[in-house]
Structure 1
Amino acid sequence: MPVITLADGTEKKYDQQVTAEQVAAEIGPGLLNAALAAEVNGELVDLTTPIKDDAELNIVTAKSEHGLEVIRHSMAHLMAQAVKRLFPKVQVTIGPVIENGFYYDFSSEEPFTEDDLKKITEEMRKIAKEKLPVERFEMTRDEAVEFFNKQGEVYKAEIIRDIPQDEILSLYRQGEFTDLCRGPHVPNTSKLKVFKLMKVAGAYWRGDSNNEMLQRIYGTAWSDKKDLKDYLHRLEEAEKRDHRKLGKRMDLFHFQEEAPGMVFWHDQGWSIYQAIKQYMRQKLGMNGYREINTPSIVEYTLWEKSGHADKFGDDMFSVESEHRMYAVKPMNCPCHVQVYNQGLKSYRELPIRLAEFGSCHRNEPSGALHGLMRVRGFVQDDAHIFCTEAQIAEEVGRFIDLLHDVYADFGFKDIIYRISTRPEKRVGSEEDWDRAEKSLADALDAKGIAWEELPGEGAFYGPKIEFSLKDCLERVWQCGTMQVDFSMPGRLEATYIDEAGEKQVPVMLHRAILGSFERFIGILIEHHAGNMPLWLAPTQAVVMNITDQQSEYAEKVAGLLKNQGFRVNLDLRNEKIGYKIRQHTLSKANLHIVVGNQEMENNQVSVRSHDGQDLGVMSVDDLIGMMHQTIADK
């Protein structure tokens, strides 16, 4: 007699095994119609899965936490079924759920076209209206191999052959289409209504470039039309805000084949970079950090000793000189330990906070490079704190306060907190990992911050807090980190003298706020659509005359602004003022300063913001005061 406890605490007793579908039907037709799957004791299952023992039950609907996951999972099968109906010779391979949607890889002799996507979409809608039941059944591995070979699905059979022989496999059938899958899935195809096929791309079978190139169809699926419309709008906005396009239009940077993944900064982009660097330098100084600089090329033995060579050797650039092997540093931490190791340290000196705008290089695959977001050469706002174990909580707390302050100044208020715990391959004892993970959890709890766990995602030397930002399009960007490391200081012979005069190994906290300058600037460009706040704008103001009569006065105004340290351009071209304003709006100049005869006679200026807002006519002194105050307020 199973007792079923519902999400609201209600208990229901049954004389025999029951399914979530039966419980939903008993509660009411509204819930039954909305039900997609179920959580039984926290495990996601089909509505028809038998519940034989006492259990906690949550009916999953489109609005539930896992509702979209189930919809998108089932939508991939719906798309594969439609493809097979339209193109019977095509073979299906792998089709997972991804962020905001799903994809499926197909082996096809002919590439899919835009017209094909329209046909597949119509067929998917047709199948959805057929309200085909989605049924789960099981096979042994060998039975499944035979089944899919008879279907002509040799890729699917190959996947199954890699599964242990004694494992029982679950398959799902809807009409004439059957696929290998763990599930769960929606009860029938009528639940799959709101979707859009997005694009076709190439993908190698099993991600190996030596294998066949497959056709990958991407799709997105949502619980209602409004969510789909909002998502498509965000995609349009993201396209408009693409930092690569804006970077070219604003003359900020470029890339070229002779240096793949390396940024060529132009003066406009470099001004943003320098503004951020000076801001961060000031923040670090105010928070007790000592700025250092370490070599870009270091003998390979140091990376072997620190453990990086073993874990990241394939991602490191190396060079040989005079029979010695060197590596271009992929990160700064081992070099910071070398600075710490110069001279005997007392417990009275701890914590010691060493910061560096460290130039790093990593041999990223060429296919993964993506503008400023994924590069081979980058600069980290890196720092390492050497402290005692008793100081960890306070240092992590101080860092969180600093990070919040910095993100707010850049216009980011919504932060997601995650703790990445011990990975499978790691160094250090289990006790060290226990203490390190607890110290991070305690620090976030002490701040009253809600967080989630990412099991197995920590660095090889220690767990970390990952700080992720949400931009104006609700996209999530992981930027900041705080890592607790009990291992590397000992491996690199870092010590301090404790109160008893004994040598001890310090704890090393690895931390960054921006992550890398390059990626963070890319995020900023897209978040602000290139319209940087005044303190970051590469052109903070452009002074424009209406006629040649005001040329001398315009030059005077521009000179006064430049003397105050502002980044100012002067436009004296013989063009209509409307044309000038449009051009400087496109180039993202922050303030448009217009001078005509009236402004010149009254020693004033007319000021407009980059978004067209009329800020009025004011004196030059008032303009300077306004700009200084705006910059101070960030």
Structure 2
Amino acid sequence: MSAELRITLAGAERVVAAGTTAGDALEADGRTVIAARVNGELRDLAHVLADGDVVEPVEIGSDDGRAILRHSTAHVLAQAVQELFPEAKLGIGPPVENGFYYDFDVKQPFHPDDLKRIEKRMREIVKQGQTFARRPVSDEQARRELAAEPYKLELIGLKGGAAEEESVEVGAGQLTIYDNLDPKTGELCWKDLCRGPHLPSTRAIPAFKLMRTGGAYWRGSEKNPQLQRIYGTAWESRERQDEYLHLLEEAEKRDHRKLGAELDLFSFPPELGSGLPVFHPKGGIIRKEMEDYMRRRQAEAGYEFVNTPHITKSQLFETSGHLPWYADDMFPPFELDGTEYRVKPMNCPMHNLIFRARGRSYRELPLRLCEFGTVYRYEKSGVVHGLTRVRGMTQDDSHIYCTKEQMGGEIKSLLAFVLSVLRDFGLSEFYLELSTRDDSDKFIGDPADWAEATEALRQAAEESGLELKDDPGGAAFYGPKISVQAKDAIGRTWQLSTIQLDFNQPKRFELEYQAADGSRQTPVMIHRALFGSIERFLGVLVEHYAGAFPPWLAPVQVVGIPIADAHVPYLQDVAKKLREHGIRVEVDASDDRMQKKIRNAQKAKVPYMLLAGDEDMAGGAVSFRYRSGQQKNGVPIDAAVAEIVDAVARRVQV
């Protein structure tokens, strides 16, 4: 090795001594810069540089930095567990969004008091400042050192082919073990099979908290043993962690499952089965408003409504190409008259049959078909979650058939249409994600078609002016897609609308149109689901608004509250005027006192309360009380009606 090295740091070439580590080159203090990116690969600060290396700092608050912080904290968790529960066998411990987890095989499930003991021991390890030391090992050496860890031995056997979530443990290259060393004596405190990188020491963990426990099947298969999973979170500062914990508290208050029950919107009867919700009258009103709105907007945009059945012969999904790829996500087949049938998991193959039902001319294109189609998907019980992950869902599904020349313009107008609709529902912060194919074998079709489709989507996305993020490998098997990611009122991101390009299904169904020159051409197919599903979008809206829907969506828009029984007929006349304008109004004629009636309306998150007493009756007015608690007295009836009707028409929030 030469006495000096030439490296590139901060865009400029520097000369450093041979044997210089990434940490020395970056002059990191271990609290802000916690790792390095060397020639594009994440490395520990202890990584020794080679001549010509390009070195970039990884700060603890960056996406990569947080992942390394959380991965390192997962190791501290596993060390603490094995010190307190020596019989515990190690599963895997990756970083995940906003936190980390580690799986353990233990005789008894962890108790909340166990979490307190574990967290206390973790804090002692952090305070001790144990160093993370990377050590390359051969496969055989790893097996010897980890002979008491059956799950680690299994991962070694899967080397190079492990699932994505296990990539923190093993990869295609040489195995490595990370030793946790006593900073004073250098003695081994604990070790784990891991690819890294890690923090320089445990003392570089500024803030963490254990959150909860749960069961998890080893490697995600119900055929494997069920392990105990401990979840935690870790952040670059205590302030940032406090912000996150506050967000969780707010999210819990907004949980659509809780609010759905409190507001009498929907339920999940166990008699129906997991992931199969029913909508109560008030939830049905919201769904109807959503559907009516979309029917009007789509009719204005030139869509044509179709309807398709819930079941079909299985062969249809062989033709579309779905069955070989998504059979595990479909409900099992059943036999009728000697033929195998399935409930449909998607609408697009049936829309293809509608296109193919007769000859088509280029003059009909773009042909925009849409349907509120209910589909069924066999989601695993562990991922079913309220309305946001169901087994039976209704999609506002549309498929656009167009020429290649029309494709770019159609995508741009579609994206503008999607964003306009989402804004009408009160969402305003977006970014886009472009999902493309990778080199795996899970995609079908001509790579040239994929390239053309991807470029058309990218161009439309860039022209939208929104931030665009790449999602390599995230495309559907038949084509690339743009997904709209929307932020809700508390800053969480939800994937909502998708626009997917498909050159493959039109070919598989032999779809054709007659071009202007008389030739037969294959159309391009664009899949568009604006809500994703009505169920999921409604769940998102419940949480976005914390159940306090804007007047146009609120199940009950107005409640009339009489000060005394004598004022009930007066308010019923006011209610009649409102109903003539399509306003959903109730008059509370119960025996409750007025203040209790107001509290009931507030609890039900009704946008408007109209109160009436003797003075109001004498003046032909009402006292106008808003959901916020603000009140206006002596408002003439016609003015009150006009204000409510206007707010509903303009879809304002109160």
Contact 2:31 2:204 in 1 (8 A): no
Q: 2-side partners of 1:320 and 1:62: how far apart? A: 57
1:451 to 441, 459, 468: 468
Contact 1:138 1:170 in 2 (8 A): yes
Contact 1:288 1:353 in 2 (8 A): yes
**Which residue does the alignment assign to 1:104?**
102
**Which residue does the alignment assign to 1:88?**
86
**Which residue does the alignment assign to 1:221?**
234
1:533 to 504, 529, 550: 550
**Which residue does the alignment assign to 2:26?**
24
The CA deviation at 1:359 is 1.2
**Which residue does the alignment assign to 1:466?**
483
**Which residue does the alignment assign to 2:578?**
561
Contact 2:453 2:480 in 1 (8 A): yes
1:412 to 415, 423, 427: 427
The CA deviation at 1:464 is 0.5
Contact 1:95 1:103 in 2 (8 A): yes
**In the TM superposition, what whole-angstrom CA distance separates every residue of 1:349-391 from its partner, at most 9, and x where no partner exists?**
2111111111111122233222111111111011111001111
Q: 1-side partners of 2:66 and 2:377: how far apart? A: 36
**Which residue does the alignment assign to 1:394?**
409
The CA deviation at 1:161 is 2.6
Q: 2-side partners of 1:207 and 1:345: how far apart? A: 47
State TM-score, norm by structure 2.
0.93
Q: 2-side partners of 1:476 and 1:449: how far apart? A: 15
The CA deviation at 1:575 is 2.0
Q: 1-side partners of 2:329 and 2:212: how far apart? A: 31
The CA deviation at 1:254 is 1.1
Q: 2-side partners of 1:18 and 1:617: how far apart? A: 80
The CA deviation at 1:314 is 2.8
- Residues 546-555 or 449-458, more deviating: 449-458
**In the TM superposition, what whole-angstrom CA distance separates every residue of 1:447-467 from its partner, at most 9, and x where no partner exists?**
333311111111111111111
**In the TM superposition, what whole-angstrom CA distance separates every residue of 1:287-330 from its partner, at most 9, and x where no partner exists?**
11111111222222211111112112233233322222222111
**Which residue does the alignment assign to 2:503?**
486
Q: 1-side partners of 2:528 and 2:172: how far apart? A: 46
Q: 1-side partners of 2:159 and 2:348: how far apart? A: 41
1:264 to 278, 283, 299: 278
Q: 2-side partners of 1:587 and 1:32: how far apart? A: 52
**Which residue does the alignment assign to 1:57?**
55
Tell me which amino acid in the other structure corresponds to 2:8: T
**Which residue does the alignment assign to 2:317?**
303
Q: 1-side partners of 2:380 and 2:172: how far apart? A: 38
User: 1:291 and 1:182, CA in 2 relative to 1: closer, same or farther beyond 3 A?
Assistant: same
Q: 2-side partners of 1:454 and 1:370: how far apart? A: 24
**In the TM superposition, what whole-angstrom CA distance separates every residue of 1:248-299 from its partner, at most 9, and x where no partner exists?**
1111111112212222111100000000001111111111111111122222
Tell me which amino acid in the other structure corresponds to 1:392: M
The CA deviation at 1:477 is 1.2
Q: 2-side partners of 1:350 and 1:211: how far apart? A: 52
**Which residue does the alignment assign to 1:211?**
224
**In the TM superposition, what whole-angstrom CA distance separates every residue of 1:78-130 from its partner, at most 9, and x where no partner exists?**
11111122222222221111111000011111222111111111111111111
Alignment length (residue pairs): 627
SS in 1 for 2:561: strand
Residues 306-321 of structure 1 mapped to structure 2, 5 A cutoff: 306-317=320-331, 318-321=333-336
Tell me which amino acid in the other structure corresponds to 2:200: P
1:235 to 244, 248, 253: 248
SS in 1 for 2:547: coil
CA RMSD of aligned residues (A): 1.7
Q: 1-side partners of 2:17 and 2:237: how far apart? A: 38
Contact 1:104 1:217 in 2 (8 A): yes
Tell me which amino acid in the other structure corresponds to 1:217: I
Contact 2:430 2:466 in 1 (8 A): no
Q: 1-side partners of 2:529 and 2:51: how far apart? A: 49
**Which residue does the alignment assign to 2:613?**
596
**Which residue does the alignment assign to 2:378?**
363
User: 1:528 and 1:389, CA in 2 relative to 1: closer, same or farther beyond 3 A?
Assistant: same
The unaligned stretches of length 5 or more in structure 2 are 161-170, 182-188
Q: 2-side partners of 1:14 and 1:99: how far apart? A: 37
Tell me which amino acid in the other structure corresponds to 1:572: A
Q: 2-side partners of 1:188 and 1:253: how far apart? A: 50
**In the TM superposition, what whole-angstrom CA distance separates every residue of 1:594-628 from its partner, at most 9, and x where no partner exists?**
11111111111111222322244412211221122
Contact 2:374 2:393 in 1 (8 A): yes
**In the TM superposition, what whole-angstrom CA distance separates every residue of 1:1-41 from its partner, at most 9, and x where no partner exists?**
5433333x34322253532211122xxx7x56522101123
Q: 2-side partners of 1:435 and 1:564: how far apart? A: 50
Q: 2-side partners of 1:10 and 1:629: how far apart? A: 62
Contact 1:328 1:361 in 2 (8 A): yes
**Which residue does the alignment assign to 2:604?**
587
Task: Tell me whether 1:280 sits opposite 2:303 in the alignment.
Answer: no
Tell me which amino acid in the other structure corresponds to 1:605: V
Contact 1:84 1:90 in 2 (8 A): yes
- Residues 539-548 or 574-583, more deviating: 574-583
Contact 2:619 2:634 in 1 (8 A): no
Tell me which amino acid in the other structure corresponds to 2:179: R
**Which residue does the alignment assign to 2:184?**
none
Residues 8-157 of structure 1 mapped to structure 2, 5 A cutoff: 9-25=11-27, 31=29, 33-149=31-147, 152-157=148-153
SS in 1 for 2:63: coil
Contact 2:620 2:636 in 1 (8 A): yes
The unaligned stretches of length 5 or more in structure 1 are none
User: 1:147 and 1:344, CA in 2 relative to 1: closer, same or farther beyond 3 A?
Assistant: same
- Residues 484-493 or 57-66, more deviating: 57-66
Task: Tell me whether 1:173 sits opposite 2:173 in the alignment.
Answer: no
Q: 2-side partners of 1:19 and 1:2: how far apart? A: 11
User: 1:241 and 1:447, CA in 2 relative to 1: closer, same or farther beyond 3 A?
Assistant: closer
Q: 1-side partners of 2:30 and 2:220: how far apart? A: 41
Q: 2-side partners of 1:328 and 1:518: how far apart? A: 18
**Which residue does the alignment assign to 2:201?**
188
Tell me which amino acid in the other structure corresponds to 1:259: L
The CA deviation at 1:416 is 2.2
User: 1:564 and 1:180, CA in 2 relative to 1: closer, same or farther beyond 3 A?
Assistant: same
SS in 1 for 2:178: strand
Q: 1-side partners of 2:299 and 2:238: how far apart? A: 50
State TM-score, norm by structure 1.
0.96
